[in-house]
Amino acid sequence: MNGRVVLEVPAKPEFLLLARLAATGVGRSAGASEETIADLKLAITEAVANAVRHAYPADDPGRVWVELSADGGKLEIAVSDAGRGLGGAEIEPRAEEQGESGMGLSIIRAIADEVDVGAGADGRGTRVRFACRL
Amino acid sequence: MSDVVSITVPATPGWGGVVELVLAGLGARLDLPYDRIDELQLATTTVLADAVGPDVRVDASSDTASVDLKIGPLSAAADDPGRRRVLDALADSVELQPGDDGATWAVLTFARGGAR
Amino acid sequence: MASGDQRALLVAYLKEGDVRARDRLVEELMPLVRSLANRYAGRGEPTEDLVQVGAIGLVKAIDRFELEKGVELSTYAVPTIVGEIRRHFRDRTWGVHVPRRLKELSMRLSRTRDELSAQLGRSPTVAELAAAVGVDEEEAIDALEASKAYAPRSLDQPYDDDEPGRLPGLADEERGYAALERGSVVRQGLDALDERERRIVVLRFLRGMSQSEIALEVGISQMHVSRLLRRALEEMRGRLEEPEVPA
């Protein structure tokens, strides 16, 4: 079944569960195997966790968007925030290659295809996109 | 606590399951009795049948006393008496109101206390 | 059969409640059901199953038929029969995607839900259910939802270990049902349900009983009540759009 689901949650760890459940639901709707669903949940967890940890000041959590699109033979996922972004003053350029967020991205790269990291839609924040083949 | 969670899905049959999963997660996080979660889901699925599309959005928020769901956009058929009867039995309060988009939106309130 | 005969049978059933007249109609129109079912043959489902599901669609069409509309019953019945067959495909394909592990877990959760309700005197939370069966909350939610949303809609085959069987005390609920004006929205919706679904809807929405009370009264699990309610509400809403049949 093709279609697009968008989940918007506060950038707090306790909302990770909702992103994982949405992924399960979309995965099942799209007829994904349990293995694909498990991969999908792991990749989404890493992407959302990055946004929760790095996008916003600790005392002022913003929002995280998780878009899941089932289209033909694959699932496309985009996790975005409206936080300080990759080039922000508090994060060194290419910091996504290091430390915790770097680890998260390498996990996503290991299990998903077409991984792409850039700025959010209006140039703010960070957007991580990837695809999982069904 | 005013942490709003929104989920948007295509307004076609078959996507209610995704919404129900997310609502179950939300209900678990709020430690609702499972009966309550079930009713929250049933009420939402009932409302989703009147979505006019192409997409339908569910905004969920909560405080210590209740969980509120705002669902839309909906067609005028949401005001059907049979539908209202079902919703009144499931939710503690049901309101239909016009949204900024001119369509109908349903606002459902569920008390967080034990199952009735 | 001449359409005049069909009309007489319809009148006998719809106006006078003559169930034998309905059975005659079903018999007469079974070739139509068979020919429709045959079009969906060879897609992984036994044709006999499709005929059986199609027959249910036919019965529903007869039940919902409006004499005033002046259409032929066969014309009126085709979309309902096809809808029922398509729905069967959809539900079956959902069913196969739910792994065995989740099905087993959902049965354990279903039993635990009933046990904990009795012990606690209230419905348990997801955390309590998950702890009792020794899984994390996410897994518990996944299994609980899978049993609701993805259960195959096989005709009267319960998903868990519930007893199907005939229900006692139906006459009592039927009185509440009969009190609803024929033709009202709720009544029309109820007319589309089978006996057990109808009883549960009446208990929940006309009598205001909780799901756990209904489970005790009817003698099935809360999970089963929940599934039947869901299915019933779906039936009552009617199906505006039929999903595509998988190729």
pLDDT exceeds cutoff 90 at B109? yes
Q: Residues 6 or more apart from C136 whose CB is under 8 A from it?
A: C130
Contact of C142 with chain A, judged by CB distance below 8 Å, is answered with yes
Contact of C93 with chain A, judged by CB distance below 8 Å, is answered with yes
Among B12, B33, B86, the residue with its CB nearest the CB of C124 is B33
Taking only the tens place, the pLDDT of each residue in C190-238 is 766 777 888 888 888 888 888 888 998 888 888 888 888 888 887 777 5
Contact of B6 with chain A, judged by CB distance below 8 Å, is answered with yes
Cβ–Cβ below 8 Å for B18 and A5? yes
Cβ–Cβ below 8 Å for A21 and C243? no
ipTM of the prediction: 0.93
On whether the pTM is more than 0.80, the answer is no
H/E stretch holding A9 reads strand A3-10
* Range list of H helices, B3-99: 16-29, 34-48, 81-90
pLDDT averaged over every residue in chain C: 77
pLDDT exceeds cutoff 50 at C159? no
Mean pLDDT of C64-78: 87
Cβ–Cβ below 8 Å for A10 and B17? no
Kindly compute the dihedral angle of the four CA atoms of residues C76, C79, C85, C88, in this order, to the nearest 10 degrees: -110
Among B3, B7, B10, the residue with its CB nearest the CB of A22 is B7
Cβ–Cβ below 8 Å for A1 and C99? no
Structure confidence at residue A93 as a pLDDT band (50, 70, 90) = very low
pLDDT exceeds cutoff 90 at C245? no
Cβ–Cβ below 8 Å for C124 and B82? no
H/E stretch holding A131 reads strand A126-133
Cβ–Cβ below 8 Å for A17 and C137? yes
Taking only the tens place, the pLDDT of each residue in B36-92 is 999 999 999 989 988 997 999 999 999 989 999 999 999 988 888 778 888 988 999
- How do A74-81 and A63-71 pair as beta strands? antiparallel
Which tokens is A128 given? Answer: 């991580």
Cβ–Cβ below 8 Å for A24 and C142? yes
Among C122, C145, C229, the residue with its CB nearest the CB of B33 is C122
Among B5, B17, B26, the residue with its CB nearest the CB of A29 is B17
Contact of A20 with chain C, judged by CB distance below 8 Å, is answered with yes
Question: What span, in angstroms and rounded, lies between the C-alpha atoms of C22 and C13?
Answer: 6
Among C97, C145, C146, the residue with its CB nearest the CB of A31 is C97
Give the pLDDT score at C224.
Answer: 86
Is residue B23 within 8 Å of residue B40, measured between CB atoms? yes
Taking only the tens place, the pLDDT of each residue in A36-65 is 888 899 899 989 999 998 888 888 889 999
Contact of C100 with chain A, judged by CB distance below 8 Å, is answered with no
Q: Residues 6 or more apart from A13 whose CB is under 8 A from it?
A: A49, A52
Give the pLDDT score at C26.
Answer: 92
Amino acid making up residue A27: G
Give the pLDDT score at C238.
Answer: 58
Contact of A121 with chain C, judged by CB distance below 8 Å, is answered with no
Contact of A25 with chain B, judged by CB distance below 8 Å, is answered with yes
Taking only the tens place, the pLDDT of each residue in B4-35 is 999 999 998 778 889 999 999 999 999 999 99
Cβ–Cβ below 8 Å for B14 and A1? yes
Give partners of C (≥3 CB pairs < 8 A). Answer: A, B
Alpha-carbon distance A87 to nearest alpha carbon in chain C (angstroms): 35
SS3 content of chain B, % helix, strand, coil (to 5): 35, 35, 30
